[in-house]
Amino acid sequence: INNIISDKTLDLRQLMFNILMFRMINNINTFNLAENRFGWKYGIPKVDEYDPDVFYNFLEDLKREGVVAFTSAYLVYNGVNTTRNDFFARNLFKFFVENIDVIIDKCKNAKTPREVLNYLESIEGIGSFNAYQLYIDLTYIGIFSNHHLFDFKKR
């Protein structure tokens, strides 16, 4: 994640997408395999070129090869009517792409850390732990102007 956060060549949309993708998969091996297979910088597709079917097939290929794509820690996935790979590739990651500007806006304009966390937790597939991890990552890129990391007091 340090390489992503410190990469000044990424615009805010791509930076946010990379952070979201990285935290939800959180397995460096998956990103290395994707970078080798597709040539994606950091193993993450460009936000405007994301194809849910390509990513789903990549995850399914890894599964067939016996490669664990995701870390098993902290994933929030209810498993109803879909597989994990399908949910993440065709639902959550697609949601990130389709709503990247809204996600950025909600985070940038939040008045408190709790507001950011509540918004992130409201996205199906992001639980409390991942919301907090995402919030920490976002503090490093300077997206917040109204508050800072340790500003968790009630208002």
Q: What is the pLDDT of residue 60?
A: 97
Q: What is the pLDDT of residue 154?
A: 46
Tell me the two tokens of residue 85.
Answer: 């790979």
Q: What is the pLDDT of residue 111?
A: 86
pLDDT for residue 33 is more than 90 = yes
| Confidence class for position 37, pLDDT limits 50, 70, 90 | very high
Rounded to two decimals, the pTM is 0.90
Report the mean per-residue pLDDT for the chain: 88
Percent of residues, the chain, with pLDDT higher than 70:
87
Q: What is the pLDDT of residue 76?
A: 63
Percent of residues, the chain, with pLDDT higher than 90:
63
Q: Which residues contact 108 (CB under 8 A, 6 or more apart)?
A: 143, 144, 145
Which ranges of the chain would DSSP assign to H, the alpha helix? 2-5, 12-25, 28-38, 52-64, 84-86, 93-98, 100-108, 113-122, 128-140
- How far apart CA 2 and CA 101 sit, in angstroms, is 23
pLDDT for residue 9 is more than 90 = yes
